[in-house]
Structure 1
């Protein structure tokens, strides 16, 4: 009696994965992301400057605020010496110049170091705006060979 016993109702295991529900879920998520993606852009439209900028003609000596790569501020007034200033000193000196001169005739330039972070340059612009300067220009050097 050493024979094998067969079971007639033994079911064969199914080794397939039903992927239809996964495809349905994937398509629903795809539609949701396609609808919500345009709504997530919270950026601000920026009109970037053109690369062929021309130099400006100045009739009077401008006020130049320089920002070095460490964020230190320097002030040059009417082709004089460059002097290191703090934010408070810069604000008081420039506001005094604004009161003495016509707002439209006072030319103020910011020369930011190319290796400097953007924040110190923005801080200098905010200081000048609070001092009463309406127009601030940025100084750059032309690329070599494109003058």
Structure 2
């Protein structure tokens, strides 16, 4: 009698046939699937109040000024007055955004002091104003 050798290869032809049949089935049935429509209730357009950021400026000598709206002239203030103004702004609108524009030659500790004063007065939204290096300053 003749001995049979074991085959150490997997015959993948039947698997390819099954995959091709499944592919044809999906290609035929996919265009027939209907998309469902969901009627979602709406609450109407909600408009958030537009609040313009108030700019706190600190110059290279450490003097404070504030700009309440775009195009307005800076108003020079003391550090104590800045603290009371921040508290008033936050009492009026807790979500009032602020920008801190400090001179680049200013000591970093003075910037931290302004941020700390704002935090103590309850300011939630404060950002540092940046300037690109191509602007020439």
TM-score range, shorter-chain basis? Answer: 0.5 to 0.7
Corresponding residue for 1:70?
A: 61
CA apart distance, 1:132? 1.0
TM-score by length of 1: 0.54
- Give the unaligned 5+ runs of structure 1: 1-58
**Alpha-carbon distance in 2 for matches of 1:64, 1:132:** 16
Task: Report whether the alignment pairs 1:95 with 2:87.
Answer: yes
Question: Match for 1:60 among 48, 51, 63?
Answer: 51
Is the partner of 1:132 in helix, strand or coil?
coil
Q: Deviations over 1:25-84 (max 9, x none)?
A: xxxxxxxxxxxxxxxxxxxxxxxxxxxxxxxxxx43211111111111111112332011
- Give the unaligned 5+ runs of structure 2: 1-49
- Given that 2:57 and 2:66 are in contact with CA atoms closer than 8 Å, whether structure 1 keeps it comes out as yes
TM-score by length of 2: 0.57
Task: Report whether the alignment pairs 1:84 with 2:76.
Answer: yes
Give the 5 Å matches for 1:10-25.
none
Pairs aligned (count): 85
- Given that 2:97 and 2:124 are in contact with CA atoms closer than 8 Å, whether structure 1 keeps it comes out as no
Task: Report whether the alignment pairs 1:113 with 2:72.
Answer: no
Q: CA RMSD in A?
A: 1.5
